[in-house]
Amino acid sequence: MGDKPPPPGTFSSRINGRSKWFVAPLTIEWLTEWVVYWLSRWALIELIQLLGGLSIIWAGIYYMLSANERTQAAADQRKAKHFQAWQIINAANKASGEGGRLEALEDLASDSIPLGNLDLSGVDLSHFKITNGGFVGGNLTGVKLDDSCLAGTFISQTNLDKATFRHSDLSNTYIFEASLKGANMRGTVFRGTIFRRADLRGIMTNGTFQGVVSLRDTNVYGGADASTSWSPDFYQTAIDKGAVCISDDHGWKVYNQLLDRGDPDLPSFKPSDCTGPWNLEPYTREDEISGAPCTHEYLPFDR
What's the confidence (pLDDT) of residue 163?
A: 95
The answer on 115 and 26 residing in a single domain is no
- CATH number, domain of 189, equals 2.160.20.80
Q: Has residue 303 been placed in a domain? A: no
The answer on 275 and 147 residing in a single domain is yes
The answer on 231 and 166 residing in a single domain is yes
The answer on 204 and 160 residing in a single domain is yes
Which of 146, 134, 242, 237 has its CA nearest to residue 198?
242
Contact 169, 145 (CB under 8 A): no
The answer on 223 and 158 residing in a single domain is yes
pTM: 0.68
Number of domains in the chain: 2
Q: Has residue 298 been placed in a domain? A: no
Q: Has residue 80 been placed in a domain? A: no
Q: Has residue 77 been placed in a domain? A: no
Q: Has residue 120 been placed in a domain? A: yes
In angstroms, the CA 183 to CA 148 distance is 15
The answer on 171 and 31 residing in a single domain is no
Q: Three-state SS for 21?
A: helix
Mean pLDDT by 10 residues, the chain (303 residues): 65 68 74 75 71 82 77 72 77 63 84 85 89 87 92 93 92 94 88 94 76 92 59 77 91 93 86 68 54 55 46
Contact 245, 221 (CB under 8 A): yes
The answer on 143 and 34 residing in a single domain is no
The answer on 139 and 38 residing in a single domain is no
What's the confidence (pLDDT) of residue 282?
A: 52
Q: 42, 65, 88: which is the final residue of a domain? A: 65
Whole-Å CA distances, 94 to 97, 108, 122, 235: 9, 20, 9, 38
Which residue segment(s) compose the domain that 109 sits in? 99-288
What's the confidence (pLDDT) of residue 274?
A: 81
